[in-house]
Structure 1
Amino acid sequence: MGDIDSMTVPRRRLGVEGPYVSALSLGSWHTYDRMDFHDAVDMVSHAVELGINLFDVAVYGIPGHKQVFTDVLFSAIVRAAGLAREEYLLSTKVWLEGYPARPLREQVERAMFRAGTEYADLAILGDIRDIRDIRDDAHGAADGAAVDLEQLAGELAELEESGLIGHWGVNNWSAQAITTIRRHAVEAGSAGPQVAQLKYSPCRRAIADGAPFAELFSAGLSMQASDVLEGGILAGKVAPTREIGRDPGGVRERIIASAPGIAAVAAELDASAAQVCVAFALSHPATASVLFGATRREQLVDNVGGLRLLDRVGASALRARLVPFFADGGVVDPSGP
């Protein structure tokens, strides 16, 4: 594939209706606010040069908690880099904490104001942590103060119709919840969710590799693999100093224990541990894009090297080498939260 620093990241279709997105996407959680501004501009510019066109930028923070301003910084970074809006796709998060008191439109409009743009190409609905937190009265789901999926689907259809969002997906939802909201979305005139953002790595595989999601993937849903390095742990930072994602199944200690083994596999393949994890995530047939964060240009370039590793080693051979590090099998319900 040529020199890593000059390769073009290929693009894959997001779902059956979504845009073509780069097979690697750049996140912003705890990134730009830890970088020198000039370095951030250089890194984002280089990402675009490498072929990355999808940037995950969101209002990170729940009301009452300390705010993070990486989305505001991103708006300044793309201006300083001289990037036109049509040169990149922007993905935002829509949080369900406080919904429907915090309407979706208000959230997206405020998020776009902070990001310095008029629309989001993709909106990702935040976690529903428990199936009891949703309501679908016509089909007998849980009672009480829960998220009404029919109402949610209707509001998303309106946002698509207005052009405020292009398409939408979900983050760490159960297969049941995705199936339900997709039905309501179609009834509301929407194409429905095009992508599920799921934790996926050599260690966290139970959900994305399980039968419930295989059925959804076969119906056209794509995956955006996230947490592929477990907050840097699988890249060798076994004691991360920044906040990292949740630990479904309580398997993080097992993941920490797996890090040296994955590093050994990487050494055998003449690659970095980060490249092995990125390549593994890319090897899933439903993966449209692998989402990762980087705070140095060198990290970005190294992760892009996962594409060349996958081509060189092959998906089957790579996955076979990583079977021993499957940490959440039999622990996490493959149907999802």
Structure 2
Amino acid sequence: MNSEKENFQEKNYTKKSLIYRFSQFVGFLLGARFFVAALLTLALYVSTFFLFNQDESFRKFVFDFKVHGIIFCTVLTILAGGIINQFYDFEKDHLVKPFRTRIQSFIKQKYFLYAYLILSLISLGVAWMISHNVFIFFIIYQFFMWFYSHKLSRILILNNLTFVSLTLYPFFGMMVYYQTFSKKVLLMAVFLFLILLCIDIVKDTLTKRVDETFGYITIPNYFESKSVNRIIISLLIITMAVSMKLITRTGIAGFMAYYFAAGLFVFIICIYLIINNTRRNKFFIINILRFWVFAGIIAMLLSGLEGKL
């Protein structure tokens, strides 16, 4: 009888231990924003091969270890940036993201800091082996990742502009690496910048009171609600104008042309949702725009494959 009881307790302990370890693993992935990093990795590979690097064959691209090294360093830097950001926003996230914070609580904050330092050092080590210029590029990237989390995330307008700029910084690096400077690439960068800026501002409207409590000065808690809606609508209208410019003046064809044309209707829907201002509509806008960014990656992939075949 005692033996059965001990076996049951041992199995129960093992089960709890496995659940705890799994929770730690999930907590680390969420803290490091692993899924965001995975999406950005896909976006970097697709844009690098089909947008920035149009003259190189697929075989040559696959064996271009310098490019893979740069993307590897980027991924590690993004993971490290996600960790340091959640470290500084830990108290705020308790209110804004209680479920995520609860999962992250299975890991002590000091281990997140150890992971941040290890990822940053590995990234810089690989960057140094690639070239001194790449090393400097990632030193700047990591500094501003930390500085954004430490200081800039609390400063009006700079918080939104810095966040979006840091998201696009690796793409800028690839553009410089391949020296791909054209009107089409510039307009596509502006298009993506505006969508990400809209997402970030709408996201801030959902955390308005919490941001104000913890000293984050954002557009929604500085301006009146009507003014914030006008800013978002203006950004969406400018994004539509950029889409029209891309369709009519840059010679974009295939799936990308369909993507930018369909985007006009997507942005009209978002404007309608903003005018009918509810919390539920704001969630819809964020998810619609996030999906549209992902759809853009897929459209670029399909358009690139169509052009290569």
Is the shorter-chain TM-score for this pair beyond 0.5, marking a shared fold? no
Length-normalised TM-score, structure 2: 0.28
* Larger RCO (CA within 8 A; separation ≥ 6): 1
Length-normalised TM-score, structure 1: 0.26
Structure with the higher strand share, 1 or 2: 1
Rg larger for: 2
Structure with the higher helix share, 1 or 2: 2
